[in-house]
Amino acid sequence: MIRHVINVRDFSPEDLNSLFQRTTKLKSAYKNRKDWVSTQGQLLTGQILVSLFYEPSTRTRLSFESAMNLLGGRVIGTENAREFSSVVKGETLEDSIRIIGAYGDVIILRHYEVGAAARAASVSAVPIVNAGDGDGEHPTQALLDLYTIREALPRRRDLTVAFVGDLKNGRTVHSLAHLFGQTASCELATVSHINFIGPESFQIPEAVTGYLKKFGVSFEVHVSLTPEVLTTSDIIYMTRPQLERSKSEKDRERAVESLIDGKLYTLTPKLADCLKKSAIIMHPFPRNKELPEELDVLPQARYFEQAGNGLYVRMALLLDLLEK
């Protein structure tokens, strides 16, 4: 049976443990590099990754493409399929996937519509990996986020997370919160409480909080980022305003006013002084004003390492999907 990666619920705790163990081995081997070509660099020789992106991407697209190349495979695709594919001629996503599946062994799909990855998987002859579908989910980002947390805070349980910013439209937050829920009762458990911090009009959807309730993960909703919340948080996960997801001009104006021009959701150096020494700051990037560059020198700043881990997690995932 073809295995697809549509959301984080596609992974059992056993899957995650296996994936992260492999990620660690790949990361260690790649940093050593001495025997990379002979030991890892030919594992996917002869296989092709199709990079099909209907929305802009830097880290996700390039890390997947780099991962495939480093494992000996090849890459074809387009970074702007919304304009440079047959969709402009009226071709449906389903027809595109049926045809493109004949050209490669795995399709990495980013699309502007929620549910597009599931639609693609329903007709695909090769694995589909959801690289972001509208304001739905971004499962591989959640995987690298959880891996980064486990690496930075090993053997820590009952952690508290603060998600800050545009939580309504942030698919990375949706996926990671779901992942915290489904790992709450197993050895992967790391998070027991979540603080959702953002304007009322950009708060976390009820579908996500309902999922957390189902698995017993406690949470609170806050309308401002305060020292009191930060002092109790082990992980501070900042997000940018998702202006491209604004459904109307009013939504866009509201986002600019509350998330950009306002400073209620900016991690200022003064607020950062309230952090625990053991805390970590994360961000899925790209960042805007919510995460000032002055914070890059802090020992708690883990967001560049977080982005770097995307290469290793996605290498491990490609091997799980394609290795014969």
pLDDT in tens, 168-191: 989 999 999 999 998 877 766 679
How far CA 33 is from CA of 25, 29, 30, 305, in Å, comes to 12, 6, 5, 19
Q: What is the pTM of this model?
A: 0.93
Q: Which string of DSSP letters, residue by residue, matches 60-87?
A: HHHHHHHHHHHTT-EEEEES-TTTSSGG
Give the pLDDT confidence score for residue 241 in this predicted structure. Answer: 81
Give the pLDDT confidence score for residue 135 in this predicted structure. Answer: 87
Of the residues 4, 27, 60, 174, only one is catalytic, namely 60
Of the residues 9, 22, 24, 59, only one is catalytic, namely 59
> Measured between alpha carbons, how far is 75 from 47 in angstroms, rounded to an integer?
9
- The answer to whether residue 60 is catalytic is yes
CATH ID of 8-138+310-322, from 3.10.20.600, 3.20.20.70, 3.40.50.1370, 3.30.540.10: 3.40.50.1370
CATH ID of 139-307, from 3.40.50.1370, 3.40.50.150, 3.40.50.300, 3.40.50.1100: 3.40.50.1370
**H helix runs in 124-187, sequence order:** 139-152, 171-182
Give the pLDDT confidence score for residue 247 in this predicted structure. Answer: 64
Per-residue pLDDT reduced to its tens digit, 265-292: 899 999 999 999 999 999 999 998 899 9
Domains 8-138+310-322 and 139-307 share a fold: yes
Low-confidence ranges of the chain (pLDDT < 70): 1, 81, 83-84, 86-88, 187-189, 242-248, 251-262, 324
Give the pLDDT confidence score for residue 259 in this predicted structure. Answer: 66
- The answer to whether residue 138 is catalytic is yes
Give the pLDDT confidence score for residue 255 in this predicted structure. Answer: 60
Of the residues 4, 61, 110, 240, only one is catalytic, namely 110
- The answer to whether residue 89 is catalytic is yes
Of the residues 119, 138, 168, 171, only one is catalytic, namely 138
Give the pLDDT confidence score for residue 7 in this predicted structure. Answer: 95
For the chain, the structural domain boundaries read 8-138+310-322, 139-307
Give the pLDDT confidence score for residue 71 in this predicted structure. Answer: 97
> Measured between alpha carbons, how far is 62 from 49 in angstroms, rounded to an integer?
12
The H or E element that residue 18 is part of is helix 13-32
Give the pLDDT confidence score for residue 15 in this predicted structure. Answer: 93
Of the residues 31, 89, 155, 270, only one is catalytic, namely 89
Instruction: Name the one residue in this structure whose structure tokens are 């050593």.
Output: 32
Q: Which string of DSSP letters, residue by residue, matches 245-287?
A: G-SSHHHHHHHIIIIIIS-TT---HHHHTTS-TT-EEE--S--
Tokens read off for 30? 């790649």
- The answer to whether residue 178 is catalytic is no
